Amino acid sequence: MAVSEQAHRPERSGRSAGVWTAFLVLIAAGIAIAWAGASPLRGEKTPSGLRIRTVEKGTGPFIQPVDAALVDYEVRLPDGTVLDSSAQHGGPQPMVAQPGALIPGFTEALLKMQKGGRYKVHIPSKLAYGANPPAGAPIPPNSDLDFDVHIAEVAPNAAMMMGRGVPGEDQPQAEQPQSQPEQPQP
């Protein structure tokens, strides 16, 4: 190579490495923004492993352990097989659900719901039936369950009104009034 050719050769100053680094940073930022933007579609994951996504926000207070709710629901296996729905139990009538009287995952999910809300819930096997589904049920052992839930109505303190108290707590029995002996009439 002649001396004159070497003088005109472009200098390698690391510009292409800088361009590629900037390009990769932009791609990573785009992925992070997409991940954050898709968060509402994935829903909230609780420490227990339950995933709940609000499809339509409800109104009023969240369901409490002493409440009951009228729910429309459909439950499926992860492969889409429908196992049960409120429609299969008497038409369009919602079913009564009370926290504590259900599988642990559904109880946990109910406490994050409000009247009028629509939710998608993924319950891992350990919060559903685990290795021991009910006898005769179409649920395979260790199956996760997916629910679509609509809270039609909430009945505050329904458990208390039915004399059940808070699920899982022993409630003292109310004292019965003692009858007074009849007093002779003057």
Instruction: Give dist(CA 23, CA 75) in Å, integer.
Output: 45
Domain of 67: which CATH number?
3.10.50.40
Q: How far is CA 67 from the centre of its chain?
A: 18
User: Given phi > 0 = left and psi -120 to 50 = alpha, else beta, which region is 51?
Assistant: beta
Please count the structural domains in the chain: 1
The β-bridge partners of 145 are 123
Both tokens of residue 126? 């350990």
Within 13 Å, how many C-alpha atoms sit on residue 2's CB side?
3
Instruction: Give dist(CA 100, CA 13) in Å, integer.
Output: 68
Both tokens of residue 185? 């009439």
Q: For every one of its 186 residues, what pLDDT tens digit does the chain have, with 9 covering 90 and above? A: 555 555 555 566 567 777 777 777 777 777 766 655 555 555 788 999 999 999 999 999 999 999 999 999 999 999 999 998 888 876 667 888 888 888 999 999 999 999 999 999 999 999 999 999 999 889 999 999 999 999 999 999 886 665 555 444 444 333 333 333 343 333
- With respect to residue 1, please indicate whether it lies within any of the assigned structural domains: no
The pLDDT value recorded for residue 123 is 96
Instruction: Give dist(CA 73, CA 186) in Å, integer.
Output: 66
- With respect to residue 40, please indicate whether it lies within any of the assigned structural domains: no
**Domain span including residue 50:** 45-161
- With respect to residue 181, please indicate whether it lies within any of the assigned structural domains: no
* Residue bearing tokens 């009104």: 161
- With respect to residue 84, please indicate whether it lies within any of the assigned structural domains: yes
Name the H helices within 117-156. none
